[in-house]
Amino acid sequence: MTRIDKTFAALKREGRAGLVTFITAGDPDYETSLALLKGLPAAGADVIELGMPFSDPMADGPAIQASSLRALKAGQTMKKTLSLVREFRNEDQTTPIVLMGYYNPIYIYAVDRFVRDASEAGADGLIIVDLPPEEDEELRPAAVAAGLNLIRLATPTTDAKRLPAVLANTSGFVYYVSIAGITGTAAPDVTSVGAHVERIKAHTDLPIAIGFGVKSPEQVRDLAEVAEGVVVGSALVAAIAESLDADGKATGETKPKLLGLVEHLSAALRQPAEAAAV
């Protein structure tokens, strides 16, 4: 079992959904990003998605686009992103890390080298948003051989004909995109999402994590009723952005603001009644 498998098995035993948090590697700088990454598990993150900065993140909304640009401006590279994972693993051998991003930086780094280095650094899975199943032959076999979960996206437009291709060779969990569009720009409709998730569950035993547009404890709590995980990304990188100074540099508020929000969101999964009263 991979760390992802073990984490979702543990969550099932606890009787709750997991909080999946997204931050961008190197945002707003390497050292601050490392401190945030190390702080996420204690704040309540069950799984961490670490964004690989890219200059043209087409599936992402303004908040995550801006975080990528901040990271790249600060000198973040793929090598440094994998170094973040490696440093995190020096202290935490339990919390899964999923590298999320686009295929171009992986291709430039070299696929075999990337898969080897990501696995050796301690990454557990990959979400490559612009790599459809029909075009993953360069990456998928190498990732599977290295023990990395390849996690695919299902969306509101993934129909019955398309779903088997999405689920084939998927492992770890299925990421359900709750809205049609880019990240962080609309709120998910729980009733609609629930119906789509049930349809997917009829075809797979994998856990399902719901993301895109999730910002509040109330949304986290509601979506946790229909899935095994809830992903929050744009709200977290927006919190980082709000804490920066006029020059885009980290301040004394950056770490507490980000981790405080994670604690607040996590409480919706661990203490639903208490969170509802906040």
Annotated active-site residue 91? The verdict is no
Is 103 within 8 Å of 128 (Cβ atoms)? yes
pLDDT for res 187? 65
pLDDT tier, 275 (very low <50, low <70, confident <90, very high otherwise): very low
Task: Find the length of the chain.
Answer: 278
How far apart CA 181 and CA 164 sit, in angstroms, is 22
* Ramachandran sector of residue 245 (left: φ over 0; alpha: ψ -120 to 50; beta: rest): beta
pLDDT for res 227? 96
pTM over 0.85: yes
Annotated active-site residue 92? The verdict is no
Which of 16-25, 153-162, 179-188 has the highest mean predicted lDDT (pLDDT)?
16-25
How far apart CA 113 and CA 139 sit, in angstroms, is 11
DSSP 114-177: HHHHHHHHT--EEEETT--GGG-TTTHHHHHHTT-EE--EE-TT--TTTHHHHHTT--S-EEEE
* Helix, coil or strand: residue 246: coil
pLDDT for res 192? 87
Task: Give, for 113, the enclosing helix (H) or strand (E).
Answer: helix 111-121
How far apart CA 209 and CA 222 sit, in angstroms, is 13
How many domains does the chain divide into?
1
pLDDT for res 225? 94
Q: How many CA atoms lie within 13 A of 272 on its CB side?
A: 12
Structure tokens at 167: 């689920």
* Ramachandran sector of residue 133 (left: φ over 0; alpha: ψ -120 to 50; beta: rest): alpha
Can you give the residue range of the structural domain that contains 68?
Answer: 3-277
Which residue of the set 27, 29, 60, 228 is catalytic? 60
Task: Give, for 254, the enclosing helix (H) or strand (E).
Answer: helix 254-270
**Distance of alpha carbon 272 from the chain centroid:** 22
CATH code at position 171: 3.20.20.70
Which residue of the set 27, 46, 49, 117 is catalytic? 49
Give the mean pLDDT of 184-209: 86
Closest alpha carbon to 17 in 227, 257, 265: 227
pLDDT tier, 272 (very low <50, low <70, confident <90, very high otherwise): low
Give residue-wise pLDDT tens across range 219-256: 999 999 999 999 999 999 999 999 999 999 999 999 99
